[in-house]
Amino acid sequence: MKLSRRSFLRAAGVTGSAALGTASLARAGSADARGENESAMLVDTTLCAGCRGCEAACAEANALAPPSPELDVRKTRRDTGPEAFTVVNGFAGGGAHGEDRFAKRQCMHCIAPACASACPVRALDKQPGGPVIYRGERCMGCRYCMVACPFEIPKYQYDRLAPLVRKCTFCAQRQAEGKKPACAEVCPTGALMFGKRGSLLELAKGRVYRNPEKYAHRVYGEHEAGGTDWLYISDVPFETLAMPSVRDEPYPDKVQGALGAPPFVMTLWPPLLMGVYAFSKRRDEVARAAAGHTPGGGGGAGGGAPGSKDGKAGGRHA
């Protein structure tokens, strides 16, 4: 069966679009639309004492370097990193009545994570129970997840010969064993409460509505980025605690348009170009062979060998 170049390009385009669309739908369809039954964490910043026990527990659970005990978190603003999956920042006099306030920062584990949606090889993957995990053996280092994440959480090991993307995985392995995340297990004040998102959201709203003079009338993470499995309540505006301001809509639909083309270019475009090259090369070979049979076509496969009928004809013309 003959395949024209137009038909070849059309088939390749349809195949590529179907492959990418299927992968995106698979990732998007795996998440509970509201995440009510997903594992979640409620952070009450009014109860956090800034002890940083969560940092130490996280480091131990993930085989990371322990945090520096001499660091004054009220004077040094920090972000998560490839060797620090969670950090506690302090805000001197940041409370409603001038008290010090502390806020823990880590991956928010979105219900519809943009990082997982942008990853072309599913190195970042949303688990049915809630955690967004990372599989380093799949990662190709494209770092689209870093571009896609509205909370700027995934971090890259730029100083490693074989770098990985690193972030909090919500202690997915511990959860699979029936344990709490390490940070929640050691929190001495009850600032971290682990449970199901639906129940924790109800608890958070109950605290806010029963104590309207104490809490800001908002649960951070209820709507941000379409909803996250980490929820926060506070007695001051969340901007005071340096919590990122993000849109309420889920981000996967936004990043798929911008980051959907690179995976196609990297995985499907090279073989497509090779096919076009082979097609064109074969067409040129056929054209050259046909040209050899025309009068004055010269030697070669179509020129005729000496002594042949074609060769004699060529001699008479000469």
Q: Is residue 237 part of a domain?
A: no
State the pLDDT at residue 278.
74
Q: Is residue 177 part of a domain?
A: yes
Q: Tell me the pTM.
A: 0.74
Q: Is residue 8 part of a domain?
A: no
CA distances from 61 to 104, 113, 165, 193, 238 (A): 17, 24, 18, 18, 29
Residue type, 205: K
Each residue's pLDDT tens digit in the chain (318 positions)? Answer: 555 555 544 544 444 444 444 444 444 444 456 889 999 999 999 999 999 999 999 999 999 999 998 889 999 899 999 999 999 999 988 888 888 999 999 999 999 999 999 999 999 999 999 999 999 999 999 999 999 999 999 999 999 999 999 999 999 999 999 999 999 999 999 999 999 999 999 999 999 999 999 999 999 999 999 999 999 999 999 999 999 999 998 887 666 555 555 555 555 656 767 777 777 777 777 778 887 765 554 444 444 444 444 444 444 444
| Contact (CB, 8 A) for 295 and 302 | no
Domain range enclosing 178: 51-190+246-266
State the pLDDT at residue 148.
95
Helices (H) and strands (E) in the chain, counts: 11, 9
Q: How many domains does the chain have?
A: 1
Query: 269-291 and 5-29 are packed helices; what angle lies between their axes, rounded to 10 degrees?
Result: 170
Q: Match 């050259």 to its residue by tokens.
A: 288
Q: Is residue 294 part of a domain?
A: no
State the pLDDT at residue 24.
46
Q: Which contacts (CB < 8 Å, 24+ apart) does range 266-273 have?
A: 266/120, 266/142, 267/120, 268/12, 268/15, 268/16, 268/19, 272/9, 272/12, 272/16
What's the token pair of residue 305? 């060998």
CATH number at residue 67: 3.30.70.20
Q: Cα separation of 142 and 151, whole Å?
A: 18
Q: Cα separation of 258 and 251, whole Å?
A: 11
Q: Is residue 17 part of a domain?
A: no
pLDDT digits 0-9 by tens, 95-154: 888 889 999 999 999 999 999 999 999 999 999 999 999 999 999 999 999 999 999 999
Q: Is residue 15 part of a domain?
A: no
Q: Is residue 260 part of a domain?
A: yes
Q: Is residue 152 part of a domain?
A: yes
Alpha-carbon torsion, ordered 111, 114, 118, 123, to 10 deg: -50
